[in-house]
Amino acid sequence: MNNSSWILIDTETDGLRDPIHVLEIAGQRMNGWDPVGEKFRILLNHKVEIPAEATAVHGYTAEFLDKYGVDPSEAHEHFRSFVGDDPLIAHNLAFDWNRALFNEWLRLGLKPVGKRGFCTLMLSRRLIECESYSLDALRAAFNLNTETAHRAFGDVDTLASLFGKVLKPRLDASGLTTYESIAEFSRQTPVGKCLGRIKKNLNVVVKNAKIADSNKWYYLDSQSASHGPFTASEVTHKMGATPLWIWREGLDEWIASNTSQEFTQQSETGLVTAPPSSVKAFQVEGTRELIGICKGIVADGKITNSEVAYLAKWLEGAGHIDSWPGTEILEVVERIVADDYISKDEKAELLVLLTKVTS
């Protein structure tokens, strides 16, 4: 990413139905691939009731925000001071930017903050095969930061870890090293072709890599059984960041993983991959469920913005989609929600497609 300046963001809201009120904004400035400066975080008090289902996700109540929240207009101006003119990158940007932040700025009569960047969810679909592309699923699949999940502050940390451990090696292997090239790649279609390109280039990197014997580690599990040899990154991926006993040829005895700078460095620079068991093919079961959803959407002969958002959310958790009609629906929905708004023509296009695949 050279020395590009960009902002990773996440929001927590009072729900998914309009009007959506932003309750928390968090951000981390990135200089290239490196986090720089202090993270931004602010709580907003809209003086509205917080539905119980929203509180169950992030823990915020109206009483808590009355005590610690800031006037929304003031909070967004603080956010503007932090962001400047930099692009905002989020996981499911169609929600954080389009439905949450942008609509709230309109409602409050404020100018937009920064500029719309790219979506890490859409980028992840083109870089990795996984059972689901929700941040929770990626967090679990790649042993990413798990502290304060479902708080915007913690989810921003997870996004930074996702970039460093998982996305960056794949992007580098395909020569996607600038902000502009990565943003463009995140919107390229078909998704399957993008993923094929990444897998091919990544395989070349792995085949050409000379893994030294010093990166063949054994580890002890909780029952003191020995496993290995594995690379340091494979050990970390299997066992997580919790310290454990490790050994390699040349060492006199087992050592604690958190005391070995060599092990830590090899773990951080390794190409992390999702375990094969986490990848499911989108075949009969997924197709049947998707068709059922599409039938419900087109039953009244029209499509609403909320129905588009619901379908996009379902596709987020659908995993690696590798069969028709899921592939075609995904391409169209991603393109529609990538814009700042959903036009009548786009909804008409989607209606035609969904009617076709359900007839």
Distance CA 305, CA 312 (A): 11
Residue 353 lies in a domain: yes
pTM: 0.78
Residues 97 and 88: beta-carbon distance below 8 Å? yes
DSSP state of 95: I
Residue 351, token pair as written in the block: 């209606």
Based on the fold, state whether residues 151 and 250 are members of the same structural domain: no
CATH number at 13 reads 3.30.420.10
Based on the fold, state whether residues 24 and 168 are members of the same structural domain: yes
Q: How many domains does the chain have?
A: 3
Residue 223 lies in a domain: yes
Residue 89 lies in a domain: yes
pLDDT value for 319: 81
Burial of 332 (0-12, 13-18, 19+ CB in 10 A): middle
Residue 191, H or E segment: helix 191-208
Distance, C-alpha 308 to centroid of its chain: 20
What are the pLDDT tens digits along the chain (359 aa)?
878 999 999 999 999 888 999 999 999 999 998 899 999 999 999 999 999 999 988 889 999 999 999 999 999 999 999 999 999 999 999 889 988 999 999 999 999 999 999 999 999 999 998 888 989 888 888 878 666 665 778 899 999 999 988 899 899 989 999 999 999 999 998 888 898 899 888 777 655 654 445 678 888 877 777 888 888 888 887 787 788 889 887 777 788 888 888 888 777 666 556 655 555 656 678 888 999 999 999 999 999 988 998 898 899 888 888 788 998 999 999 989 887 678 999 999 999 999 999 99
What letter represents residue 217's amino acid? W
Residue 235 domain boundaries: 213-269
Residue 194 lies in a domain: no
Based on the fold, state whether residues 234 and 353 are members of the same structural domain: no
The domain boundary residue, chosen from 269, 295, 310? 269
